[in-house]
Structure 1
Amino acid sequence: MGGITSAELNFLVFRYLQESGFVHAAFTLGYEAGIHKGGIDGNVVPPGALITIVQKGLQYIELEANTDENDEEVEKDFALLEPLEIITKDVEELQQIVKKRKRERLQIDLEKDKGKETECIEEHEQHPGGEREREHHDKEKEQEREKDKTERDKAQEKEKEREKQHTERTDKLKHEEDSLASGGPTPMDVSTGHEIFSTDVTVLEGHSSEVFACAWSPAGSLLASGSGDSTARIWTIPDGPCGSIQSSPTSVHVLKHFKGRTNEKSKDVTTLDWNGEGTLLATGSYDGQARIWSRDGELKQTLFKHKGPIFSLKWNKKGDFLLSGSVDKTAIVWDTKTWECKQQFEFHSAPTLDVDWRNNTSFATCSTDNMIYVCKIGDARPVKSFSGHQSEVNAIKWDPTGCLLASCSDDWTAKIWSLKQDKCVYDFKEHTKEIYTIRWSPTGPGTNNPNQQLLLASASFDSSIKLWEVEHGRLLYSLAGHRQPVYSVAFSPDGEYLASGSLDQSLHIWSVKEGRILKTYRGSGGIFEVCWNKEGSKIAACFSNNTVCVMDFRM
C-alpha cells in the first residue's frame, strides 16, 4: 500500500471537518497556519500537530456551546459533552445538550441539598432543646429556601433571556443570509451569472498535492504553478480556445525542489514570481531557499540565507533586485547580477508574511507582529513604521503610483497608509472576519486606464469581497456570492472585471462597474489563487485537488 504525506493527511482531516459542518476559524486558521504559513520549523504541520489544532477547535466549540456573550465568567469545568457528540453535532445541538445536562445537574444538586436538610433536622431533634433549635433551624432553612427559590427564578429568567437572545441571533443570521444581495450600500445582483462549463476549461494535471500559487508570464503564454508536492511547473498554454476537447499543453517543465526520489525535508513551493521580461521565474519554498529558473525550467541559481520558510518573493520593476520575506523575521534584497545578498533587513519581531516594492529601491514588509515597515536599500533603519493593526498583517500592496500602501489583517480591517502621516488615511472595518488578501485596480492616474477611478478589493474569511472607492474612502460594493472564505482576487488588466476564488470551489467573474457576477466556474476543490494573463483573455486558477484550470474570458 502506498503511503500518504502529512500534508495530504492534514488536508483530508481538514476537508472532513469542513464537510461535517465545522467551518469555525479555529479549524480554517489552524489548517492555514500549517499549510500556507510554513508550519513548524519550516515543515508542513505533522499529523500530531494537526490533531492538536483539531482538539483546540473542538474544545472551543464545547466552550462556545456552554457559554454565551452575556456570561460574566466562563465555567471552568465545561466538559459536559462526549467526544462523539462534538464530532457529530453542530453548535446549536451541542448548546441544547449542555443546557439539558446543566438542568439535570441543578436538579441533582437540589435533591442533595434536600437530603442534607433532612439529615440536619434529625440531628437537631436528638439534642436537648431540640424544639427551640428546630424552630431556629427551620427559620434559617426557610430563608435559605427563599434565597434558593429567588436564585432559581433568576436562573430561569436568565435562561429564558439566553434562549430569546439565541433566537434573535439565529433570526438575525437568517435575515443576513436572506439579504446577502444587499450586502453593500448599493443593491447588487448576486446571481451566479453564466455558467462556464467544464468542456470550456483546460485542466492541467500533474501535481500530486495542493497547488498554492499560479502566475502568468508577462511575456508569452507561459503559466507557472507552485505546489505542496515540492515542485513548480511551467506550462505552455496554446493560443487557441480552452476546453477539454482541445489538445493538452504543448509542453510542461517540472521544477523539482529536491534531489533524488524522496524528499527528506519539506520543500513545498509557497510563492513564485516572474521577472518583468518573463525570462526568469523565482520560487520560494518551506526549506527557506529561493530558486531562480529559466523559462525552460533550468535551475539557474539557489539563494541560501534565510533560516525559515519563504512566504513572499517579488522582483522590482527594473529586475536588478529580488526581494524575499521569511518566517525567520527578516527580508532580504538579492542582487540579481551577482545573486549575493545585497542587504538583510531585521526589523520585525515575528515572521514576515508579505513584501512589496514601492519603486526600484524601496519596499514595505508586514508581519505577525502587527507591524508594517517601509525600508530602503542602503538604510540601516526603516524609512517609516506603521502601527495600528491589532493582529497579524496578512498582506500589503502599494497602489500603481507607489503613493498609497494598503494592508489587511486578522483584526478584520483593511487600512490605507501614506508616507506623509503616521496614522492610516482610511480604516475599513466592514468585514466580519479575517481579511486574507487585498488588490489594487490597475486604474487611475499613472496607469494604462487613467480615466477610471482607483479601487481596492479586499477578500475575507467572511466569504465576501469588498470594493473600496479610494478617493473618498467609501465602500462601493460588497460582493456576496461566495459561501466560504475567499482566498484570492485579481483585477483584469483593463480594470473592468474582478476574478475571485474561494474554498467553496467556485470562481466568480464580477463586473466592477455593476458589482454583479457575470460568469461562474465550479471546480472540484478549494481555490487558492486566481490570475489573468496580460491580454485579459484567459484566467487561471489553482485548486486544492492538485489541478490548475485555465479558461477563456470573452464578453
Structure 2
Amino acid sequence: MTLTSEEVNIIVYRYLQESGFRHSSFAFQYESQIQRSPYFDVNIQPGTLINVIHKGLQFMEIEAHMSEDGELLECTNPFSLLEPHQCDLTGRSLNERSEPSPNPTAKRQRKEERRAQKEREKRARKDVETTESDAPPASTSSSITASTPAAAAAPAPAAPVNGHTVKEEADVVMNDTTNDEKEGMAKPRETIDPNDIIVLEGHQNEVFSCSWNPVVPNLLASGSGDATARLWQIGDGKDQVSKPIVLNHLPNLNDNKDVTTLDWNPSGTLLATGSYDGQARIWTQKGQLRFMMAHHRGPIFSLKWNKRGDLVLSGSADTTTVVWDPEAGEMKQQFELHTPILDVDWMDNSTFASCSSDKTIYICRVGQTKPLKKWVGHEDEVNAVRWDPTGRYLASCSDDMTTKIWSLSSDQPIQEIRGHRLQIYTLQWAPYQEENTDAPRILATASFDATVRLWDALTGTCLHVLQNHTEAVYSISFSPDARLLATGSFDEVLNVWNAKDGTLQKTFKANGGIFEVHFNKDGDKLAACTSNKQVVILEDMKS
C-alpha cells in the first residue's frame, strides 16, 4: 500500500470545503497547489477524512490491546484520538465473549440504558411485591407504576407491574373501563391480509424509525439498529419497490449502532439522522453524506428541522440540546439545562421546547443564552413535547400519567388532562384545518396502558378511548386530513381508526412489535417499522 502527500492533501481540502471553511480551503489550495494534482477531479465521498481517522483509531485501539498470543483483550476505558490511553483490562479476551442475545428491552431502554437501573430503584423504593395467586385483582389507580415493557426482536415476557405483567395490567384496566370507553373496542371493518401489504426487507436489526418525505409522496426513510438508514422508493404494488439506498453510519464512536431518530427538512431535499453514538448526520435525497456532526457526547434521542429548514435541533442523553447550521455542518449554539433530554420540538424558526427525565420543560430561543420559560409541573419524567400546528400551545406527556397543555402567556399549565392508567409515552396533535378555525384542538395520547385517547385539549374532555391493543402503544400518526389515526404497539398490531367517531377501520397483524407509524403527505400510504427488521407499507388508505 502506498500513500502520497497529494492524496492526503486532497482529502484534507475536501474536508475543509464540506465543513464550511471556505477561506481556509482556498488558502490550503493555493499553498498546496492541489489543483495541479491528478486527484483534483476525483469523486471523493463526503466524510472521507473522518472515516479514515475513525478506522485508523479503531486499528490503534486493536493494536494497543492485542496480546503476544494474538488475543484481543477487553478494556473498559474508551480510546481517544488526543488523550493518552490508560488500560483498564478486565482479564478477558474478546474472543471468549459469547454472542449477545437479542435485547429484551423496550425502545426507550434500548435508547437509554440508564432506565434499567432507574426502574430497579423505583420498584425497590415503592416495595412492590408480587401479588399472591389467590389474591383479588389489584385495583387501578393513579398510583400505578409500570416498568418499561419488553421490546425485543421477538416478544419477551413483560416485566411485573404491581404484581401483574404489562399485558395483565392492561387487562385490569380494560375490566375497569366504563361502558362509554368500551365503544372504541368495536370490530374493524377490514382485517388486512398480509398478501395485500408491501414488506420492505434488508435491515439487519430492529427498525426504530420511519419517515415519509414531505414533498415526494413515495420516498420513505427508515432507521435501524444495524447502523444504517435506508431510502426506499415505493411505487404502486409489490413489484414497484426499487432497491433501497443504504446510508451507512459506520464507523461509529461506540459499540451501539442504533440509528435512533431521523427527520426530513421541509423541502424534502435533506435527511438528518441521529445515532446512539452521539453523531448527527445530514444526507442528500440521493443518499450522499453531506455532514457528520459529532459534538454530542451521548446518544441522540430526538432531532428536528425548524419550519424554514435552515436549522437542525438535536437533544441528547449528554444533557444538552444543540442547534446546528446545516449549510456548514457546524454547531451554532448549545444549551445545557437538563439532565438527559428525551424530546425536542420547534415552535417556529428560532424557538423550541425540550423535555427531560428531570421532570422539567424549557423554552429556548436561538441567540439567547437564558431560557424564555422553565415549566415545572410534572411529577415524573416528561417523555414527549409537541407544539400544536398554530404554535400557540405546547402539549407534554409524562410517566406521571398526565398530559399538560402550556402557553407562553402562563407559568402554569392551562390544562391538565388525566385518564390514562399508566405512563403516557407519546402524543400527537391533529393537523389543523384552516377552514375550521373554531374547531376544537384535537390531541391524541398513547400510553403503556394499551389505550390511545382522543381529547379536546383546551377543555380536557376525553372524546374517545381507542382500545384494540394489548400492550404499550409506542407510536401514533394522524393522516394529513385528520380523518384517520394510525396506532402501533408492541403487541404486533397496527390499527387504523376513524379519528372523528373513534371506530376501528382497519387492523393488521405484523411479524414484530411496532416502533413507529407514519402517513405519507397524500395520506394514501402508511408505513410501520418493526422489531422484526421489516418496514411494512399499507396502501390505498383513502379508500
Q: Counterpart of 1:197 in structure 2: which amino acid?
A: D
2:406 counterpart of 1:417? yes
Structure 2 residue aligned with 1:474, among 461, 467, 481? 461
Structure with more relative contact order (C-alpha pairs < 8 Å, separation 6 or more)? 2
Report deviation, 1:473.
2.3
Q: How many angstroms apart in 2 are the aligned matches of 1:308 and 1:419? A: 30
User: Any idea what the Cα deviations from partners look like across 1:151-194, whole Å, max 9, x if unmatched?
Assistant: xxxxxxxxxxxxxxxxxxx9x9978635758353x844531331
Asked whether the equivalents of residues 281 and 292 of structure 1 are also in contact (C-alpha less than 8 Å), the reply is: yes
Report deviation, 1:383.
0.3
TM-score (norm 1): 0.70
2:487 counterpart of 1:500? yes
Q: How many angstroms apart in 2 are the aligned matches of 1:498 and 1:314? A: 22
Matched residue, 2:194: 198
Asked whether the equivalents of residues 253 and 277 of structure 2 are also in contact (C-alpha less than 8 Å), the reply is: no
Q: How many angstroms apart in 2 are the aligned matches of 1:333 and 1:275? A: 14
Matched residue, 1:216: 212
Structure 1 residue aligned with 2:241, among 243, 249, 253? 249
Q: Counterpart of 2:188 in structure 1: which amino acid?
A: T
Q: Counterpart of 2:270 in structure 1: which amino acid?
A: L
Unaligned runs of 5+ in 2: 1-94, 140-155
Report deviation, 1:347.
1.1
User: Any idea what the Cα deviations from partners look like across 1:253-285, whole Å, max 9, x if unmatched?
Assistant: 1111113xx996223100000001111000000
Matched residue, 1:230: 227
2:542 counterpart of 1:554? yes
Q: How many angstroms apart in 2 are the aligned matches of 1:217 and 1:494? A: 17
2:474 counterpart of 1:487? yes
Q: How many angstroms apart in 1 are the aligned matches of 2:170 and 2:449? A: 13
Q: How many angstroms apart in 2 are the aligned matches of 1:332 and 1:503? A: 31
User: Any idea what the Cα deviations from partners look like across 1:46-67, whole Å, max 9, x if unmatched?
Assistant: xxx89x9899989999833379
Structure 1 residue aligned with 2:305, among 292, 298, 315? 315
Report deviation, 1:431.
0.5
Q: How many angstroms apart in 2 are the aligned matches of 1:499 and 1:544? A: 18
Matched residue, 1:524: 511
TM-score (norm 2): 0.72
Matched residue, 2:341: 352
User: Any idea what the Cα deviations from partners look like across 1:110-162, whole Å, max 9, x if unmatched?
Assistant: xxxxxxxxxxxxxxxxxxxxxxxxxxxxxxxxxxxxxxxxxxxxxxxxxxxxx
Over 3 Å counting, the alpha-carbon distance change for 1:387 and 1:509 in structure 2 is same
Q: Counterpart of 1:235 in structure 2: which amino acid?
A: W
Q: How many angstroms apart in 2 are the aligned matches of 1:181 and 1:526? A: 28
Matched residue, 2:130: 64
Structure 2 residue aligned with 1:34, among 109, 120, 131? 109
Q: Secondary structure at the match of 2:239?
A: coil
Q: Secondary structure at the match of 2:102?
A: helix
Asked whether the equivalents of residues 222 and 237 of structure 1 are also in contact (C-alpha less than 8 Å), the reply is: yes
Which of the pair has more CA radius of gyration?
1
Matched residue, 1:511: 498
Asked whether the equivalents of residues 213 and 219 of structure 2 are also in contact (C-alpha less than 8 Å), the reply is: yes
Q: How many angstroms apart in 1 are the aligned matches of 2:529 and 2:465? A: 24
Q: How many angstroms apart in 2 are the aligned matches of 1:474 and 1:399? A: 17
Asked whether the equivalents of residues 214 and 272 of structure 1 are also in contact (C-alpha less than 8 Å), the reply is: yes
Report deviation, 1:452.
4.6
Matched residue, 1:545: 532
Asked whether the equivalents of residues 275 and 315 of structure 1 are also in contact (C-alpha less than 8 Å), the reply is: yes
Q: Secondary structure at the match of 1:391?
A: coil
* Alignment root-mean-square deviation, CA: 3.4
Over 3 Å counting, the alpha-carbon distance change for 1:9 and 1:55 in structure 2 is farther
Equivalent pairs, count: 424
Asked whether the equivalents of residues 262 and 303 of structure 2 are also in contact (C-alpha less than 8 Å), the reply is: yes
Q: Secondary structure at the match of 1:267?
A: coil
Over 3 Å counting, the alpha-carbon distance change for 1:89 and 1:396 in structure 2 is closer
Q: How many angstroms apart in 1 are the aligned matches of 2:293 and 2:530? A: 28
2:114 counterpart of 1:10? no
Report deviation, 1:250.
1.4
Q: How many angstroms apart in 1 are the aligned matches of 2:183 and 2:445? A: 19
Q: Secondary structure at the match of 2:130?
A: helix
Asked whether the equivalents of residues 354 and 367 of structure 1 are also in contact (C-alpha less than 8 Å), the reply is: yes
Over 3 Å counting, the alpha-carbon distance change for 1:205 and 1:180 in structure 2 is farther
Unaligned runs of 5+ in 1: 15-30, 71-86, 96-169
Report deviation, 1:34.
2.9
Report deviation, 1:5.
6.2
Asked whether the equivalents of residues 183 and 480 of structure 1 are also in contact (C-alpha less than 8 Å), the reply is: no
Asked whether the equivalents of residues 282 and 326 of structure 2 are also in contact (C-alpha less than 8 Å), the reply is: no
Matched residue, 2:432: 443
Instruction: State the percentage of identical aligned residues.
Output: 43
Q: Counterpart of 1:417 in structure 2: which amino acid?
A: W
